[in-house]
Chain A
Amino acid sequence: MNGGAALPRRFLRNRAAALGSLVLLAVVAVALLADVIAPRDPLRMVARPELWPFTDPRFPLGTDALGRDIMAIIVHGARTAIGIGVLAAAISTTVGIAVGAAAGYFRGWIDDLLMRFTEVLQTIPNLVIVLALVAVVGPDIVYVVLAIGLVSWTSVARMVRGEFLALREREFVLACRAAGMGDLRIMLREILPNALPPVIVYASFLVSAAILFEAALAFLGLSDPSIASWGRLIGEGRQTLRTSWFIAAIPGVAIVLTVLALNLVGDGLNDALNPRLRDQ
Chain B
Amino acid sequence: MAEAPLVEAAGLAVRYGVGADAVTAVAGVDLAIARGEVLGLVGESGCGKSTLGRAILRLVPVHGGRVRFDGTDITDLPERALRPLRPRMQIVFQDPFAALNPRKTVGQAVGDPLHAVLGLDRTMAEMKVAALLARVGLLPEHAERLPHEFSGGQRQRIGIARALALDPDFIVCDEPVSALDVSVRAQVLNLLADIRAERGLAMLFISHDLSVVEHIADRVAVMYLGRIVESGPARDLFAGPRHPYTRALVASVPRIGATDDTAVPIEGDPPSPRSVPAGCRFRSRCPRALPCCAAAEPPLAVDGAGRLLACFNP
Give me the interface of A with B, judged by CB distance under 8 Å. 1, 170-172, 174-183, 185, 189-190, 193-194
Q: Which residues in window 28-67 of B have CB below 8 A to A?
A: 54, 57, 59
Residue from A175, A181, A194 in contact with B91 in the complex, judged by beta carbons closer than 8 Å: A175
Q: Which residues of A contact B112 (CB under 8 A)?
A: 176, 181, 189
A-B contact count (CB 8 A): 66
In the assembled complex, the Cα of A174 lies from the Cα of B162 at a distance in Å of 12
In the assembled complex, the Cα of A170 lies from the Cα of B54 at a distance in Å of 13
Residue from A171, A177, A179, A194 in contact with B95 in the complex, judged by beta carbons closer than 8 Å: A171
Residue contact B101 to A178, C-beta cutoff 8 Å? no
In the assembled complex, the Cα of A190 lies from the Cα of B104 at a distance in Å of 8
Q: Which residues of A contact B117 (CB under 8 A)?
A: 179-181
Q: Which residues of A contact B166 (CB under 8 A)?
A: 179-180
Interface presence of B100 (CB below 8 A): yes
Interface presence of B84 (CB below 8 A): yes
Q: Which residues of B contact A190 (CB under 8 A)?
A: 101, 104
Q: Which residues in window 95-132 of B have CB below 8 A to A?
A: 95, 98-104, 109, 112-113, 116-117
Residue from B54, B87, B98, B109 in contact with A180 in the complex, judged by beta carbons closer than 8 Å: B87
Residue contact B86 to A172, C-beta cutoff 8 Å? no
Residue from B59, B93, B101 in contact with A177 in the complex, judged by beta carbons closer than 8 Å: B59
Known contacts A1-B148, A185-B116; is A178 also within 8 Å of B99 by CB? no
Interface presence of B215 (CB below 8 A): no
B92's nearest neighbour on chain A, judged by CB, is A175
Q: Which residues of B contact A1 (CB under 8 A)?
A: 102, 148
Q: Which residues of B contact A189 (CB under 8 A)?
A: 112
Knowing that A175-B163, A176-B112, A178-B86 are A-B contacts, what are 6 other residue pairs whose CB atoms are under 8 Å apart, sorted by A's residue number? Answer: A1-B102, A171-B95, A172-B100, A177-B86, A189-B112, A193-B103
Residue contact B102 to A179, C-beta cutoff 8 Å? no
Residue from B84, B101, B148, B165 in contact with A172 in the complex, judged by beta carbons closer than 8 Å: B101
Residue contact B148 to A171, C-beta cutoff 8 Å? no
Residue from A170, A180, A193, A194 in contact with B83 in the complex, judged by beta carbons closer than 8 Å: A180
Interface size grouping (class) on chain B: 20 to 34
In the assembled complex, the Cα of A181 lies from the Cα of B163 at a distance in Å of 13
The smallest beta-carbon distance between B308 and chain A, in angstroms, is: 28
A178's nearest neighbour on chain B, judged by CB, is B91
Residue contact A181 to B98, C-beta cutoff 8 Å? no
In the assembled complex, the Cα of A174 lies from the Cα of B99 at a distance in Å of 8
The smallest beta-carbon distance between A172 and chain B, in angstroms, is: 4
Residue contact B116 to A170, C-beta cutoff 8 Å? no
In the assembled complex, the Cα of A171 lies from the Cα of B97 at a distance in Å of 9
Q: Which residues of A contact B85 (CB under 8 A)?
A: 180
Interface presence of B90 (CB below 8 A): yes
Interface presence of B89 (CB below 8 A): yes
In the assembled complex, the Cα of A175 lies from the Cα of B171 at a distance in Å of 12
Residue contact B101 to A180, C-beta cutoff 8 Å? no
B98's nearest neighbour on chain A, judged by CB, is A171
Known contacts A1-B148, A171-B93; is A179 also within 8 Å of B113 by CB? yes
Residue from A170, A180, A194 in contact with B86 in the complex, judged by beta carbons closer than 8 Å: A180
Residue contact A194 to B102, C-beta cutoff 8 Å? yes
Q: Which residues of A contact B82 (CB under 8 A)?
A: 180
Residue contact B91 to A180, C-beta cutoff 8 Å? no
A177's nearest neighbour on chain B, judged by CB, is B59
In the assembled complex, the Cα of A175 lies from the Cα of B163 at a distance in Å of 8
Residue contact B87 to A179, C-beta cutoff 8 Å? yes
Q: Which residues of A contact B83 (CB under 8 A)?
A: 180, 182
A173's nearest neighbour on chain B, judged by CB, is B101
The smallest beta-carbon distance between B53 and chain A, in angstroms, is: 11
